[in-house]
Amino acid sequence: MTVAAEPKGSGLKREMGLMSAINVIISVMIGSGIFVSPTAALRYAGSVGFCLVVWTVCGGISLLGALCFAELGTVVPRSGAEYAYLIEAFKKSHSFWGPLPSFICAWVYVMILRPAEIAVIILTFAEYSILPFRHLLGLEHMPAEDLELLVKLIGILGLGIITYINLSSVKLYVTINNVFGFCKVFACLVVIFGGIYQLAIGNTENLAGGFSGTNTSPGHIALAFYNGLWAYDGWSSVTTITEEIKKPEVNIPRSIMIAVPIITGLYVFMNLAYMTVLPMGEMIDSEAVGIDFGDRALGSFAFLIPLGVALATFGCALSIQFGVTRLCYVASQEGQMLEPLSYIHVRRSTPAPAVAMQGALALAFILVGNIETLIEFASFLIWFFYGAAVVALLALRRTQPDVHRPYKVPLIVPYITLAVSIFLSVVPVVSDPSPKYLFALAFILSGVLVYTPFVYYKVRPRWINKLTFLIQVLFEVVPSSNKLD
């Protein structure tokens, strides 16, 4: 049931060039973490020297994983990243089990992980956006409950803005994301040059220890790398939007090879700057390293750090929402989610129903509160799905050996990435056995319960047609014409 004939050529448009692709990666990888809490890696490393080694090696490992996705993005030219690769590699292997991994991936990302992440990130944006004005607005004297409500209201406003941007047009998203990408890199450079100035005037005592005190315990070393690698998460983001990248076979590998080393350099030198100004003990105990650094090193320009956090988090939330709506779009095309989630606005070429759904889910998480634990129990699955995507790469090498691969990663790279993904999936469970992982398992099982009747047996309630018609009228959307079979 449709409201109008489908316009010729309706679908996602390739409107993003190389610079925009680079900015997508930068936007997702650089959030609040590098400004707020780069402390766990230092605590487990035990020395400033080994901590810098950890940050550097983690950047290299992230690049290896990203290069695996670069090959997958050229072999499977669809949006959706891990989801698209899993469905392509395994859907024909078994009628029930083949499509199940891709559905579980979409189920976790779309229904819980990404909207919960957006909610946490946008609340961080709200908190730091008012910090530079706390004296002007008299917020120091505001009761804690009122301040929490103010942060939540600003967060809801921020969520409304990013949802509007992603509903409006890809070009608007690209423009705003490029501006925010530049601003957040500038904020990182402020920290770095602040550290360089401190070194230039002779403040080197905090670095004098070098590798003294380095933890040699395999468990501590593993946790140091675990925390470092989590800070680099987001390197796969450009492959989530493959269908909107111009010349993806060229621009996806290039964007990865440019963006990930840039971020590695920023992260390593920002940590060096923090260590130059803050003693190791203070840095480990700090709740917001960037803020403490700004107060100590930037003087009257200290406001640039909370402003940088606000810019970084807003851009990060904007890009995460942009990406997950494309996962919704592809999963819907495959019949694994409601069909209208793949519908495209007749004039704006945006998947409006998918964007609106993600906005509504993130809003629900903001209103509910206490979502950090929710993210914790689902986050360890991110690297599980990264590993599953690498298995898909190896499977596609075997089942589709003759497919043209504009970029082909050396075989040792996927094996290294697979080992890292197994490590990062297992470490949090072993190091902190907790009932929250049973909740993760329960959520996965609930996905199987949804998958069996509605995806495998294709049960279709009668009200679906009415809902589809309502969505088409409300959002002015039509079925996409560029589904890849």
pLDDT in tens, 290-344: 888 998 888 888 888 888 889 999 999 999 999 999 999 999 999 999 999 999 9
Give me the domains of the chain, ranges plus CATH numbers. Answer: 18-479 (1.20.1740.10)
What pLDDT was estimated at residue 377? 66
pLDDT at 140: 72
What is the DSSP annotation of 364-389?
A: HHHHH---HHHHHHHHHHHHHHHHHH
Average confidence (pLDDT) over 71-93: 92
| pLDDT digits 0-9 by tens, 153-193 | 999 999 999 999 999 999 999 999 999 989 999 999 999 99
By C-alpha distance, which of 14, 20, 17 is closest to 77? 14
Asked if residue 79 lies in contact with residue 241, where contact means CB atoms within 8 angstroms, the answer is yes
DSSP letters for 423-484: HHHHHHHHHS--THHHHHHHHHHHHHHHHIIIIIS----THHHHHHHHHHHHHTEE--S---
pLDDT of residue 483: 55
Q: Please determine, for residue 130, whether its predicted confidence score (pLDDT) is greater than 70.
A: yes
- Separation between Cα atoms, residue 391 and residue 289, nearest integer Å: 38
Q: What pTM was computed for the model?
A: 0.91
Q: For residue range 352-407, what is the model confidence (pLDDT) as tens digits?
A: 999 999 999 999 999 987 666 666 666 678 888 999 999 999 999 999 998 888 88
- Residues of the chain with pLDDT > 90, as a percent, come to 56
Mean pLDDT, rounded, for 12-20: 89
Q: Can you give the pLDDT at residue 31?
A: 82
- Asked if pLDDT for residue 5 goes beyond 90, the answer is no
Give me the mean pLDDT over the 241-263 stretch.
93
Average pLDDT over residues 282-290: 87
